[in-house]
Amino acid sequence: MILKWKNTTFDLNNQYNIRYFFDNEKFFVRNLELKYRINDKLESLPYREYVVAVDSLPELLEIPQATFQQYLNAKVDDELSVSVEELILLAEFFNCRVEELLNYKPKQKLPKKILKPNRNDIIRKFNLVK
């Protein structure tokens, strides 16, 4: 998809989920392929609370500021993951559910099929006499 705006051409691939913001003749394209919605929660705060949150959240999570920035910019296909404990702390901070901070569905690991062994196979395997 090609988007033209103010003598600028944006080539938007269909494989990406893009949101468009038009605000005071400024054009913003934001990629929604971020792994977490922490940015959305931060941006919903009033300005002063936003500034305090950006400074205090890394301390609350006991992580460096650089790691927190990586969390904010992590893409869905990145290996980087926020720990469950950190997600719980963030959810408590933003007064929301942990699921609201995720921008993807976690891959479900299917349990291995439990096979009931055949009695004769067990007898043969362990050389048991019937």
Residue 54: which CATH number? 1.10.260.40
The answer on 53 and 17 residing in a single domain is no
Q: For 4-17, what is the mean pLDDT? A: 53
Place of tokens 């103010």: 6
Q: What's the structural domain count of the chain?
A: 2
Between residues 51 and 10, which one has the greater pLDDT? 51
**Cβ atoms of 28 and 20 closer than 8 Å:** yes
Domain encompassing residue 23: 1-32
The answer on 50 and 19 residing in a single domain is no
Taking the CA atoms of residue 34, residue 76, residue 67 and residue 38 in that order, the dihedral angle to the nearest 10 degrees is 40
**Cβ atoms of 87 and 74 closer than 8 Å:** no
pTM (2 decimals)?
A: 0.59
Question: Per-residue pLDDT tens for 40-60?
Answer: 999 999 999 999 999 999 999
**Cβ atoms of 103 and 34 closer than 8 Å:** yes
pLDDT grade for 109, boundaries at 50, 70 and 90 = low
